[in-house]
Amino acid sequence: YWRPSLLPPTLIVYILVISPILERMDTRVIEAFRPLVQTDDASFNRLVSEASRLNLALEVLTFGLGGAFGLWFGHWWLSGGDAFWLGLYVSLSAGLMFGVLGWTFYGAIASTRLISELHRQPLRIDIFDIKPFEPIGRQSVIVALVTVGGIALGTLFGVGRAESVGWEYWIAQASVMIVPILIFFLNMRDTHRVLAEEKKRELEAVSRDIVLASRALMKRRAAGESIGTLAEEINALVSYEERVQEARTWPYNTGMLRTVVVSVILPAGAAAAQIALGVLLA
């Protein structure tokens, strides 16, 4: 029982440590969006305040529901034991852990609501320069790595040696490894949407210009008139179209993606370490 009983305090400390980091990332995203949102400072600040406001009743409710589930889970987990103090500790610590997790998830939902609201505002977008959106990519990396850390802690402390040798356990581990990558991309979905829409508008506009210029050129040729600079204009438009087609619509670079992909092996490493620890202590 000793290793799983260490999971609640370890996970609570982990959440308390990473929470300020996530809050700083949210602040950087908001600061990056200020030049992009086409509104005055007062309206922008009001938007941020309203979209990020937390409901105290919902905070208490999510903490309470998580705590109630944790108390039930801790009691169920040690239902066959007769150690009163151990059972009391596990029930209370599990209740506190799940309560903190519930409260944290509610805060994460509120943060997601703010980011989505910012993306719905009129934005100044340069499809050839998406650096202003890269804080979203960096935030996605941090969130994915935080998820990996939580999974690794759960693997190290939450599973006994007997469970870890079953094929069901390893199938579950393989599935869990996909979660950080999914979170990485899902956190950027709104940014991808607005960039893809802007790219589509640019492509449609330049495509129309190419068609019009090509028709004008053919019309002049048919009439035996000089085509002037139309050929050069068409070449320039085609070159511009190619640049637009190559423009990125996901606000991450190769280094960010590599970090996330490499990080998914950590839960597997944690599982191997957990098994080795169980063997050594057996």
Instruction: Give pLDDT tens digits for 32-55.
Output: 999 999 999 999 999 998 888 888
| Calpha distance 198→212 (Å, rounded) | 21
Q: What is the pLDDT of residue 128?
A: 93
Note the pLDDT tens digit of each residue in 152-196.
Answer: 787 777 655 545 555 555 666 667 778 888 888 988 999 999 999
Q: What is the mean pLDDT of residues 95-104?
A: 86
Note the pLDDT tens digit of each residue in 198-217.
Answer: 999 999 999 999 999 999 99
Flag whether pLDDT at 249 surpasses 90.
yes
Amino acid symbol at 78: L
Q: What is the pLDDT of residue 266?
A: 66
| Calpha distance 12→98 (Å, rounded) | 9
Q: For the chain, what are the domain ranges? A: 1-124, 199-245
Please tell me which residue, 166 or 10, carries the higher pLDDT value.
10
Flag whether pLDDT at 236 surpasses 80.
yes
Please, what is the average pLDDT of the chain? 83
Q: What is the pLDDT of residue 201?
A: 96
Q: What is the pLDDT of residue 1?
A: 54
Which residues are CB-neighbours of 253 under 8 A, at least 6 positions away?
134, 137
Q: Phi-psi region for residue 120, left (φ > 0), alpha (ψ -120 to 50) or beta?
A: alpha
Note the pLDDT tens digit of each residue in 115-155.
Answer: 899 999 999 999 999 999 999 999 999 988 888 888 778 77
Flag whether pLDDT at 71 surpasses 90.
no
- Secondary element (H or E) of residue 165: none
Please tell me which residue, 168 or 83, carries the higher pLDDT value.
83
Q: What is the pTM of this model?
A: 0.79
User: Is 146 within 8 Å of 183 (Cβ atoms)?
Assistant: no
Flag whether pLDDT at 245 surpasses 80.
yes
Task: Grade residue 83 by pLDDT with cuts at 50, 70 and 90.
Answer: low
Task: Grade residue 277 by pLDDT with cuts at 50, 70 and 90.
Answer: low
User: Is 256 within 8 Å of 181 (Cβ atoms)?
Assistant: no
Percent of all residues in the chain with a pLDDT value above 90, rounded to a whole number: 35
What are 22-28's contacts with CB under 8 Å, separation 24+? 22/111, 22/142, 22/143, 22/146, 25/135, 25/138, 25/139, 25/142, 25/143, 26/111, 26/114, 26/139, 28/135, 28/138, 28/139
Tokens in use for 102? 């519930």
Q: What is the pLDDT of residue 212?
A: 94
User: Is 262 within 8 Å of 148 (Cβ atoms)?
Assistant: no
Q: What is the pLDDT of residue 7?
A: 82
| Calpha distance 102→150 (Å, rounded) | 14
Closest of 165, 169, 170 to residue 279, by C-alpha: 165
